[in-house]
Structure 1
Amino acid sequence: MNRRLSPIQGVLVAVLGLGGLLIVLPFLWMVFTAFKTPDDAYAWPPTLLPKVWIAGNFKKLFELIPFGQMFWNSLWTSAVIASFNILLGAPAAYAFARLRFPGKSLWFNSHLLSMVVPWQITLIPTFLLVRWFGWVDSFAALIVPSLTSGYAVFMLYQFFRSLPRSLEESVLMDGGSWGTALRYIALPLSSGAVAAVWMLSFLGNWSSFVWPSIVLNSPEKMVLPVGLLALQNHFAINVPVLMAGSALAVLPTIVAYLFVQRYLTDAALSSGMKG
C-alpha cells in the first residue's frame, strides 16, 4: 500500500530535490563541457549537453601540460600527508583523551589555537623556516609543514572520549599498555572517525593551491591545482580543455570517498547506537 505524502512532506521533498540538483549541476556542467568545442562552450544561450561530442580536449590537455606527472605529485603527497596526520594525530588525541600528564591543558589548548589562527598569518613564518632549511622547490617543503594537524587531533580526541573505558581497562588489567589499548581497542573501534579524518586531510591537500605555488618552481614537482592554472596562461582560458583537466582532477576525490564510505557509515551507525 502506497503512502501519500502530506503537503508539508511534498514541499520538503521538492526543496531537497532542488538543493540536490543545484549541488550536482556544476559537476555535470564541468563533465559535459569537457566534451564540447570552444564555440559550443561559449554559445549563448548555453546548453548543458554538447552539440558535437569530442574527446580531443583530453588529448590536448596532456599536450599542453605534464598532466600525468602533476596528477601523480598531488596524489602521493596528499596520501602521505593524510597518513601522517593519522599516525601522529591518533596517539596525541588518545593521550589527551585518556592520560593525565603535566601541561596537558596547555598542549591541548595549543592545538585548539592552531585551528583558529588564520593560515595567512603563519604563511610567511612557515616560508622563512622552509627557506632556512633549504627546502624551497622540494617535496619536503610541501609535506613537512603539513605532517601534523590540529583538526585531526581534535576530531579524533572527540571520538576517543566517547569510547567506553571498560574495554581499555580490561587490557590494562591484563598487563597491556596504553599503546596496546590504542592499537587493538581504540583504533579499530574508531575506524570510521579515522577514515573521515584521513579523507578530509587528503581532500584538503589535494586541492591546495597557495602554498604549492609559493614553494615549488620546477615543472616536474608541480601539483595539479597549480598546473591547471597554467592552462589559462598558455591557452587564454580554453574552457573545454580546462574542464577536461578539472574532471580528471575530481576522480581521486570520488575514489577516496567510495573507499571510506563503508567506514563512515559504520561510524554513523555506532554513534547512533551510543546515543
Structure 2
Amino acid sequence: MARYLYQPSEAVAGVACGLYSVGLIITVFRIFRQKAWIWFIMALGIGMEAAGYGARIASAADTTARTVYIVQFCLIILAPVLMAGVIYLVFGRIVFHVVPAEARTFRLLWVPARWVTPIFVGFDIVALLTQVIGAIMLTATEPTDPDAAAKINRGKNIAMVGVIIQLVAFGLFTVVAARFHFTSRRFTDDFKQRLQAVPGDKYVTLGGNARKFNPNWRRLLYTVNISCAMILIRSIYREIDFAEGKTGYTQRYEYLLVLALPQVLVTY
C-alpha cells in the first residue's frame, strides 16, 4: 500500500539531502575549527535532516515500504526542534556576554534573563517528546489495524499539541529576540569597552576571560533572528499539516514540502 497521496520526487529529496549534507560538513568543520562544541546539537539536527531526506529518496523509490517512510517522516519532523534548542542557547550566551549583569532585567527581555535558556529549552524538550510520540503513532498505524482511525486521530492530536507548544514558545522567543535586536544597541559601547584585543588575532577576550570571542556579536544576532523566522514558518506549516490530517491538502501536494525547505538556510 502506497504511503503517499502523490508520487514523491526522488530529485527533490536528493537536492534537499545534498543541501543538508553540505551544511553538515560546513558546520562540523566550523565546530572543530572554532571549538564551538555547543553546535554539536545543531550538527545532530542537520544530520537528522540529511538522513531524513536520504530515507525519503528510498521511500520515493518504493512508496509501499513502511520502515523508510517512518524513518524519513520522523527525522524530518523532529530535526528542527534540536535546531531551535541551539538558537535558545546561543541567544542566552549573547545576552550573558553583551548585557551587563545589572541590566539583565525582566523589563529588558520580558522573561527572567537568567532563565531564558532553561525556560525555552524546557519547552523545546516537551515539544520534542510530544512530537515523537505523535509521529510514531501516525506512521506506525496501518489502515487495517483495529481502531486505525482512532489511533491516527490520537496520534495527530498529540503531534499537534507538540507543534503548538513549540509554536507558542518559539513565537514568544522570536518576539523577545527581535525586540532585543533593537534594545541591545544601547549596550554596544559598554561591550566594546570591556573587550581586550588579542595581539595578531582577529578575536578578542572579554572581561579577563581567557576564552576568545568574535566581537561581531550583532552578526550572530541577525543569524538568530533569521533562523527564528525560518523555523517559525516550518512550525506553522507542520501545524496546518497535522490539523488537516493524512488526506488534507498538504498531504496531497509535494510542492508545499518544498516551500518549507528555506529552513536549510539555518544550517549555513
**TM-score, normalising length: structure 1:** 0.29
Q: State TM-score, norm by structure 2.
A: 0.30
The structure that has the greater radius of gyration is 1
